[in-house]
Structure 1
Amino acid sequence: MASMARLKTDLMRTATNLRGWRTRRKLVVIESDDWGAIRMPSRHAYENLLKARIRVDRSPYDRLDCLENRQDLEALFNVLDSHCDSQGSPAIFTFNTVMGNPDFAAIKRSGFEKFYHQPFRESYKAYHGDDLWPLWQQAMVKGLIKPQFHAREHLNSTQWMEDLRAEQPETRIAFEHNFYGLKTRTGALHQNKYLTAYWPASAHQFKAILAIMNDGLRQFEMVFGFRSETFVACNYTWPSELEEPLAKNGIRMIQTLRGHPEPQLEGSNGLRSRRHFTGQRNKLGQSYSVRNVQFESYVNKNKDWSGQVLEEIKQAFVLRKPAVICTHRINYVGGMDVAHRDRNLKLLDKLLGDILKRWPDVEFISSDELAITMECE
């Protein structure tokens, strides 16, 4: 059964790579989501949630993912800086950034009547007692990371606030531990979690989500000094009606998978699947890039990840496609498990070395560079 599933995955990836934009250049784009988001606040919070019968042990993200700290960033940046491509450029991560988190204390003081936002730079101080902004700046100058927009919060805050006001029991318990990532029964018919920031359950919620997104993009430009040119939706879930406002905000390319869940604003508010390929364009002129390589080593620590990734890159290059690698932050943070972070950084280090050894003419580029390249070549 496992071999059949693998064959099906290989065939689907091949079908995706056969379509769309092509290049003779060996381009590697590494896209990494969730930087800046809290997820699990601490090991202490995790244990207390379990005691409260919130089954956070069932999700690897709840067990392992957390707000990055100084050691996490320094260790990752050291690995990236030690591998340079044929142009002399270091390996670069597209840092798909969450601009902040809920300010739990302020929300509680309001009696759950108003949502308050805590910028991610303030979250570092609140949760780690540290200012990590200089590290981000240094990494950007050295070409190790290129921030792009993910969300204002990795959270459907409108639905979350509605459920907090309705005193939904599990949501309230999780709130007391500064946690919003739980799977639970929400007030939305089809949603069992709050992480899908761009999934509205009503016209009212869509209007609110649009305003939040616009504010997040405004914050992004203020913080980084440039507009984000690409975007990836939380959990790859967004309605097509969001694409025009994204375009108006300067988003020229949407990062996604070959199939993305699209919420329906009319009728049942359920999902349908939309198919994509790299270089595909919508009616607004925006392009899509599809992640055709998976490096999510947190899933299975015993797997030969370098071997699998090299084969997926090989297929992309044979079919003259860029290799767009998906690798989430969860792989590189150690606040919940230091050994987990260190193991995955070793795998990343090996993988980057193997890529350069096998394809000496490879080029590491960021997602916004890919967008520009697809428009110009």
Structure 2
Amino acid sequence: MNPLNIFKNLPFYLRKKFSDKYILIESDDWGLERAASAETIDWMKQKYGEDKFSRWTLDTLETTDDLEILFDVIDRYKNKFEYPPVITANFITHNIDYTKTESLNYEGLKSKITNDKYPGLKALYIKGIKSGYIFPQLHGYSHFDLTLMDKYFETEEGKEAFGKKFFTSRSTIKGNLSFLHGEMSHSNFQTNRFEEACSEFEKFFGFSSKSVIPPTFIFDKEFEKILIENKITLLQSSNRLLSTNKKRYRYPYFKMKNGLIRSVRNARLDPHPEYKFYYKQCIESIDKAFKIRNPAVIDFHRVNFSGKFAPEYRDRTISELKNLFDEIYVRWPEAKFIHTQKLNELLWQH
């Protein structure tokens, strides 16, 4: 055996093992507004060409329709499992404020998600939490590198995108998907607003987040201290995190290192034609996780059910989600769905 492979797989070999069959569903980018209107989409068609659109181009802030449809599916399984399905909803706390044109400013969830602007949306968040459908955790401040954002704002293209109310539109176009990314990267370290994100999260939801998933899986080591200072105790999806220099971290999974527990994602439900992570493939990943006594942690991004501009994609996703839950019930009726904070609590108890 190649000794380098042993080192590469140390996080797996040294992982904590579990006796129960836990299933987690982690969903990123809740609270993040991308395209705001059909007019914005039309402008992008003219500027970039619809053939250059990625699935992110039509992604947008979750609507009340999206949540009602999603919650209805989850509710159907409330009485089937002792621990029924729950989604860890990872929230971005700040969006660009397009009312202030002199410089780039951001608007927090508490100011953004109001009944005047988005009638009924916050009420549905609260309903989802109380009903056990979702459990919010923190994703980040803006999802992007603020230093790069400020520089882009000074360009002609940046001004145009700002005027169309989709400042980060280029980052959704094929060939540009890493544009402006790196909220937890070296270049954003001095300008990061993670503490502000934590504060806004707590003001909006009434409790603090104990875990975080670095946006776009970019995470440079100096941010560990910032997370710990803000009482974050678990890193989601540590097996997919990369430094700015594309280096992976070799920390044991589900164990504490440098003050943080490192969780993983080992399954996906992304039923998009270009991704092809359908429910059957997800079931296979869950089975593999259980066989090695790991929790099955499913990556289920918000884009999959963001239906304002892509209702057919949302409908296909909902169908796949139903199939997934049905198959889990047939194969593992004893499975326990828990959210990420519950896993965090279990790990810190041992």
Is the Cα–Cα contact under 8 Å of residues 181 and 195 in structure 1 kept in the other structure?
no
Q: Which residue in the other structure is 1:298 paired with?
A: 272
Q: Does the alignment pair 1:287 with 2:270?
A: no
Give the alignment's Cα RMSD to 1 decimal: 2.6
Paired residue secondary structure (1:321): coil
Structure 2 counterparts to residues 122-141 of structure 1, below 5 A: 122-124=111-113, 129-141=118-130
Amino acid at match of 2:144: L
> How far apart, CA to CA, are the structure 2 residues paired with 1:75 and 1:192?
31
Is the Cα–Cα contact under 8 Å of residues 158 and 167 in structure 2 kept in the other structure?
yes
Q: Does the alignment pair 1:193 with 2:174?
A: no
Q: Does the alignment pair 1:173 with 2:160?
A: yes
1:86 to partner: Cα distance: 6.9
Paired residue secondary structure (1:208): coil
Deviation digits for residues 161-220 of structure 1 (CA, Å, limit 9, x no counterpart) = 12213xx23222221111133447xxxxx995123322242xxx41211xx110000111
**Structure 1 residues 58 and 82: alpha-carbon distance in aligned structure 2, compared to 1, 3 A threshold:** same
Is the Cα–Cα contact under 8 Å of residues 198 and 234 in structure 1 kept in the other structure?
yes
**Structure 1 residues 241 and 291: alpha-carbon distance in aligned structure 2, compared to 1, 3 A threshold:** same
Paired residue secondary structure (2:222): helix
Structure 2 alignment gaps of length 5 or more? 1-7
Amino acid at match of 1:193: F
Structure 2 counterparts to residues 50-89 of structure 1, below 5 A: 50-53=45-48, 57-62=52-57, 64-84=58-78, 88-89=82-83
**Structure 1 residues 375 and 178: alpha-carbon distance in aligned structure 2, compared to 1, 3 A threshold:** same
> How far apart, CA to CA, are the structure 2 residues paired with 1:128 and 1:355?
38
Amino acid at match of 2:150: M
Percent identity (aligned): 25
Amino acid at match of 1:197: E
Q: Does the alignment pair 1:154 with 2:143?
A: yes
Structure 2 counterparts to residues 303-314 of structure 1, below 5 A: 303=276, 305-314=278-287
Q: Which residue in the other structure is 2:311 paired with?
A: 338
1:246 to partner: Cα distance: 0.8
Q: Which residue in the other structure is 1:253 paired with?
A: 234
Structure 2 counterparts to residues 214-229 of structure 1, below 5 A: 214-229=195-210
**Structure 1 residues 295 and 99: alpha-carbon distance in aligned structure 2, compared to 1, 3 A threshold:** same
1:151 to partner: Cα distance: 1.0
Structure 1 alignment gaps of length 5 or more? 1-12, 185-189, 264-269
Q: TM-score, normalised by structure 2?
A: 0.88
1:129 to partner: Cα distance: 4.3
Q: Which residue in the other structure is 1:207 paired with?
A: 190
Amino acid at match of 1:149: L
> How far apart, CA to CA, are the structure 2 residues paired with 1:328 and 1:259?
15
Amino acid at match of 2:343: L
Structure 2 counterparts to residues 10-21 of structure 1, below 5 A: 18-21=13-16
The count of residues paired between Structure 1 and Structure 2 equals: 339
Q: Does the alignment pair 1:274 with 2:268?
A: no
**Structure 1 residues 354 and 85: alpha-carbon distance in aligned structure 2, compared to 1, 3 A threshold:** farther
Is the Cα–Cα contact under 8 Å of residues 292 and 324 in structure 1 kept in the other structure?
yes
> How far apart, CA to CA, are the structure 2 residues paired with 1:85 and 1:18?
36
Paired residue secondary structure (1:79): helix
Structure 2 counterparts to residues 349-364 of structure 1, below 5 A: 349-364=322-337
Deviation digits for residues 278-308 of structure 1 (CA, Å, limit 9, x no counterpart) = 2143222x1111100111112548x572211
Q: Which residue in the other structure is 2:321 paired with?
A: 348
Q: Which residue in the other structure is 1:41 paired with?
A: 36
Q: TM-score, normalised by structure 1?
A: 0.82
**Structure 1 residues 271 and 172: alpha-carbon distance in aligned structure 2, compared to 1, 3 A threshold:** farther
Deviation digits for residues 99-138 of structure 1 (CA, Å, limit 9, x no counterpart) = 12010221x1xx22xx322223544559964231111111
Is the Cα–Cα contact under 8 Å of residues 36 and 98 in structure 1 kept in the other structure?
yes
Deviation digits for residues 256-275 of structure 1 (CA, Å, limit 9, x no counterpart) = 24242213xxxxxx443324
Amino acid at match of 1:345: I
Q: Does the alignment pair 1:28 with 2:14?
A: no
Amino acid at match of 2:122: W
Paired residue secondary structure (1:146): strand
> How far apart, CA to CA, are the structure 2 residues paired with 1:240 and 1:18?
23
Q: Does the alignment pair 1:97 with 2:91?
A: yes
1:369 to partner: Cα distance: 0.7
